[in-house]
Amino acid sequence: MLTNIGVPGLILILILALVIFGPKKLPEIGRAFGQTLREFKKSTNELTSDVREELDEAKTTVKKVTENNK
């Protein structure tokens, strides 16, 4: 979605943000947006690692079952 914006589009968005929110509010909004992205990335990484752990456990269980059936 954001891959088609380009530099002119980003400049336009920045100008609109300055007009709408003002120069004093913009750093606060940027900081909040950065914190939100950081939390989202952290949650995504935790979820991914949980899924990987579950898959590893399942593989280990399947391997044990197949070895016991031989």
Reference 25, options 39, 1, 33, 43; nearest CA is 33
pTM: 0.58
More confident residue, 70 or 42: 42
- Each domain of the chain, given as residue ranges in start order, spans 23-70
**Three-state secondary structure call for residue 66:** helix
Query: What digits encode the pLDDT tens for the residues 7-66?
Result: 888 889 889 988 998 888 888 988 999 999 999 999 999 999 999 999 999 999 998 888
pLDDT at site 26: 85
